[in-house]
A and B are shown apart, each in its own frame.
Chain A
Amino acid sequence: MLKVNNYKILLLLMTICLTLVFSGCKRNVSVEHRDFVDTIGIDITDTGNIKVTLLIPDPGKVSKGEKEVNQIVTSEATTFTQALKNADKQSAKKLSLENVRIIVAGEELAKDKEKQAIIFDGIKRNSVISKRVIIAVSKGKASDLLNTKIEGVQIFGKYIVEYYAQSPDDIYTAYDKKLGKLISKMNVVQNVIVPEISVKDGKLLLENGVLFKEGKAINTFNSEILRGYALVNGKINNIVVDVELDGEVIPITIKSSKNKVSFTEKNGSVVVNVKQQYDCSLTEFNGGVSDQNIKKLERLFNEEIKNNIEESYNFFINENNSDVYGFEDSLKKENFDLYSKYTNDATNVEFIRGLELNVVVNSKIISTGSIR
């Protein structure tokens, strides 16, 4: 027979009490009484206040496949934290920020260094917002973007996250888009590039970028510039590069790539040697696939890539004095003596403008597709 003494009963009662009292669930709010925020849009108003726009999808409507699934809550305050608090008061349910997937800053806010620094600090210190949240900038106001009906987009943040996730080796990997990595890079090289999101003719445009330097947006750029940057960083594969042969546009797909950036000294300046090696495939070519044509295409491809890299380098380094590539940091890591020699008496801008670029591209078309 099971014997239970008083001590064990006391222990059992204590365990039950402790479980109930110490569980931390005193102010627990069940899932159905919560609003899970998917996207936060942040703008500066004309009066200098902070305006937040929260996109809250309704799971019930999502499961029914309804077109209008989002509830939009907006609020204004002098600070980001207060604006969020006000938004919480406006919402009938408790707002939850654990599932925020994207934070979109309005164009005007992105250009305001002081305001942005305070808001960014608020986001960094918020223990609820994930470090993997995507940071982006809208063309125009973020509230306008989030209030626009976009073709094929049901839940805004979810769509963006899936869009980038489905392109794991595309040029978008070059964006410094995740909060944690963004903070790291901002601290080290102080130059970052984040996605610019805009809507044109009811469709989302996700291929452009915004250049941030020392805490504020200084310029925007298109996907060509982004590609040139991504090629130097050696992060991409599987993208299509168009080359023109005898008046005909031929798409060449990069299958795999090798990339090396090194530094040498020449005639009193530091040379950045960007060496690229590509294996490509040809799948659309309405002509004879002769050895001669293949060689021509390889040469044209090399030129296209080289031009693309130089154009991108020119945009960032020469036009914007912005070392987004982190060349200074790389040189410091790889050749400290050379780094010391050229940075001792020079400012950051003088140093990067004094760099010389030397691009060498080699490619090989390894596949010409198959005709069935």
Chain B
Amino acid sequence: MIFSNDKISIRQMISIVILDVFGTSIIVLPQKAAILNSQNGWLIVLFTSLLAILATILITTLCQKEINLNFYEHTKKNLTKPIAILIMFVFVIKNVLIVSYELSAFTSMTSQILLPTRSLVMIYGSMIVVGAYCAMQGIETRARLSEIVVFLLLLSLLFSLILTSIDADFKNLLPVQIHGDVPYIKYSFSLMFAFMGLEYLYLLYPYISDKSKYKSGAIKSVAILGFLMTVITIIATANFNYVTLIEQRWPVLDMISEVNIIGAYFERQDALIMSFWIMGVFSSVTAGIYYASVIIMDLIPKAKTKYVISIIAIAIFVVTDIYMGVEVDDAIVIKTINGLLIFFLFIFPILSLSVAKAKEMYKVGKTQKVGENQNVKGE
């Protein structure tokens, strides 16, 4: 892969998507699901995963429609230049918001578990610096890194889940109730924040070497993520019972901290899983910075990458600092991110595809009309 510049394989793409999405959201998801639908919260997660697959189909269909155009170019083509610039601007802001949210959550957790005496600025500052440096190296470096990290992450997670499920009481998932009182679709949309990072599929497309397999590869990665999220929610609910789960801010970490591995060298497994999870957050930070820089470079082709990345990194630093310094309501932040995600995952692709289709139909109609006129003239 190192020889084909700026191109990545489908396998690498799957790893990148998994790592980009795998962040703070998975750690808090079981609690949010339990708040919405008590012991049946996993059903909401399952529906959310299905919605994410639907979003993936929409995004990849849109990308494959304009095979040679990037995100900005096909938006410009379908929705005019001013709207495209506005959308790109919103996308960059969304990235800054998401990365800052991830970093603030990560920092507060790290300071509690791993680095209690370290200044918080040092923690998120170092993450941003390293993330920005990695983003400067380009997509291929990210792809090669993801290929290795994804296995470390998923294997450690699966191992921990198997161990936690041994002690879990699966009766805590009962009674399974599917009834009309629960607004499943509304709740599923409200958990879409779990899939933040999925919208990067728009920007990943130009780098794929085999574009024909893009859709199936993307669906595969989202299915893996959806499966993992559902399993994590099931095991967390079985472990704690939804009543306790609702009270826990980081249930997945709490769950793993209770694992007792007989004869294990480490007494505290939460620190172990934390170290693997750092890689997931690190990847999300890198992705946020990288894709924001890609958009800005598309808008301003003459700008220098390292300066663009530096400005984005500074913006993320400032927003994270505001998050950490001011009491920001977590629910409002999640709602804002969720709203932006719903726009980019559903509204935007549907709108773009509809406009493209309408334009196509108009073009066909116009051609037919011209043809008919010519026929009439000929006669």
A interacts with B = yes
Q: Which residues of A contact B (CB under 8 A)?
A: 18, 21-22, 24, 26-27, 98-99, 127-128, 130-132, 178, 180-181, 183-184, 187-188, 330, 332-334, 336
Residue of A nearest to B125 (CB): A22
Answer whether residue B61 sits at the interface, using C-beta atoms and an 8 A cutoff: no
Q: Which residues of B contact A (CB under 8 A)?
A: 112-118, 122, 126, 129-130, 171-172, 174-175, 177, 239-241, 243-244, 247, 254, 257-258, 260, 267-268
The contact of A187 among B117, B247, B260, B268, by CB within 8 Å, is B247
Smallest beta-carbon distance A115→chain B, Å = 21
Is the CB–CB distance between B267 and A184 below 8 Å? Answer: no
Q: How far is the CB of B177 from chain A (nearest CB, A)?
A: 7
Q: Given A18-B126, A188-B243, does the pair A336, B177 have CB atoms closer than 8 Å? A: yes
Residues of A within 8 Å of B267, CB to CB, are 98-99, 130
Known: A131-B254, A333-B171. 7 other contacts (CB 8 A): A24-B118, A26-B117, A26-B118, A131-B257, A188-B241, A333-B174, A336-B175
Question: Can you give 20 contacting A-B residue pairs, CB < 8 Å?
Answer: A18-B130, A24-B114, A26-B118, A27-B117, A127-B113, A128-B116, A130-B268, A131-B258, A132-B257, A132-B258, A181-B258, A183-B244, A184-B244, A187-B241, A187-B243, A187-B247, A188-B241, A188-B244, A333-B175, A334-B175
Q: Which residues of B contact A22 (CB under 8 A)?
A: 118, 122, 126
Contact of A127 among B116, B177, B247, B260 (CB under 8 A): B116
CB distance from A40 to the nearest CB of B (A): 17
Contact at A132–B260, with CB atoms within 8 Å?
yes
Contacts of A333 in B (CB 8 A): 171-172, 174-175
Return the 4 tightest CB-CB contacts between A and B, nearest first: A333-B174, A24-B115, A24-B118, A180-B258
Give A125's nearest chain B residue, CB to CB: B112
Instruction: Give the distance to chain A from B248, nearest Cβ to Cβ, in Å.
Output: 9
Query: Is A98 within 8 A of B268, CB to CB?
Result: yes
Query: Which residues from B are CB-within-8-Å of A131?
Result: 254, 257-258
Given contacts A27-B117, A130-B267, A188-B243, contact A180 B175 (CB under 8 A): no
Q: Which residues of A have CB within 8 Å of B241?
A: 184, 187-188
B171 near A330 (CB under 8 angstroms)? Answer: yes
Of B117, B172, B239, B240, which one neighbours A24 at CB under 8 angstroms? B117
A188 to B129, CA, bound (A): 45
Closest to B117 in A: A27
CA of A183 to CA of B174 in the docked complex: distance in angstroms? 20
Q: Which residues of A contact B114 (CB under 8 A)?
A: 24
Q: How far is the CA of A188 from the CA of B118 in the complex (A)?
A: 37
Cβ contact within 8 Å between A180 and B171:
no
Residues from chain A with a CB closer than 8 A to the CB of B175 are 332-334, 336
| In the complex, chain A residues whose CB is within 8 Å of the CB of B118 | 22, 24, 26
Contacts of A127 in B (CB 8 A): 112-113, 116
A180 CA to B244 CA, complexed, in Å: 10
A167 to B247, CA, bound (A): 32
Which residue, A22, A183, A330, has most C-beta atoms of chain B within 10 A?
A22
Q: Which B residue's beta carbon lies closest to that of A27?
A: B117
User: Least Cβ distance of B172 to chain A in Å?
Assistant: 7
In the complex, how many angstroms separate the beta carbon of A128 from the nearest chain B beta carbon? 8
A21 to B113, CA, bound (A): 19
With A and B bound together, what is the CA distance between A152 and B114 in angstroms? 37
Task: Report A185 CB to chain B, min CB distance, Å.
Answer: 8
Minimum C-beta distance from A261 to chain B (A): 11
CA of A180 to CA of B115 in the docked complex: distance in angstroms? 22
A99 CA / B266 CA spacing, docked (Å) = 11
- Expressed in whole angstroms, the Cα–Cα distance for A130 and B171 within the complex equals 26
* CA distance in complex: A131, B270 (Å): 10
Cβ contact within 8 Å between B244 and A187 = yes
A184 near B240: Cβ-Cβ < 8 Å: yes
Contacts of B240 in A (CB 8 A): 184
Q: Which partner residue on chain B sits nearest A179 by CB separation?
A: B258
Do A180 and B174 have beta carbons less than 8 Å apart? no
Give Cα distance in the complex from A128 to B257, angstroms: 11
For residue B254, which residues in chain A have a CB less than 8 angstroms away from its CB? 131, 180
A99 to B267 Cα, complex, angstroms: 8
Residues in B with CB closer than 8 Å to A130 are 257, 267-268
Cα–Cα distance between A360 and B267 once the two chains are bound (Å): 42
Instruction: Give every chain A residue within 8 A of B171 (Cβ-Cβ).
Output: 330, 333-334
Nearest chain B CB to A323 CB, angstrom units = 15
Contacts of A26 in B (CB 8 A): 117-118
Q: Nearest residue in B to A101 (C-beta to C-beta)? A: B267
Nearest residue in A to B241 (C-beta to C-beta)? A188
Give the shortest distance, in Å, between B119 (CB) and chain A (any CB): 9
Could you tell me the distance between the alpha carbons of A256 and B129 in the complex, rounded to whole angstroms? Answer: 59
Residues of A within 8 A of B130 (CB): 18
Tell me how far the C-beta of B288 lies from the nearest C-beta in chain A, rounded to whole angstroms. 20
In Å, the complex CA distance between A21 and B121 comes to 12
- List, in ascending order, chain A residues with CB within 8 A of B268's CB: 98, 130
> For residue B239, which residues in chain A have a CB less than 8 angstroms away from its CB?
184
**A332 surroundings in chain B (CB, below 8 A):** 175
CB distance from A264 to the nearest CB of B (A): 17
B174 touches A334 (CB 8 A): yes
Q: Which residues of A contact B247 (CB under 8 A)?
A: 187
Q: How many whole Å from A10's CB to the nearest CB in chain B? A: 12
User: Which residues of the other chain, A, contact B113 by a CB distance below 8 angstroms?
Assistant: 127
Give the residue among B113, B129, B241 with the most A Cβ atoms within 10 A: B241
B39 to chain A, nearest CB (A): 8
Cβ-closest chain A residue relative to B246: A187
Q: How far is the CB of B300 from chain A (nearest CB, A)?
A: 25
B178 → A minimal CB distance (Å): 13
- CB neighbours (8 Å) of B129 from chain A are 18
A214 to B170 CA separation, bound complex (whole angstroms)? 25
Q: How far is the CA of A188 from the CA of B39 in the complex (A)?
A: 12
Please measure, in the bound complex, the distance between the C-alpha atom of A332 and the C-alpha atom of B112, giving whole angstroms.
Answer: 37
Residue of B nearest to A186 (CB): B244
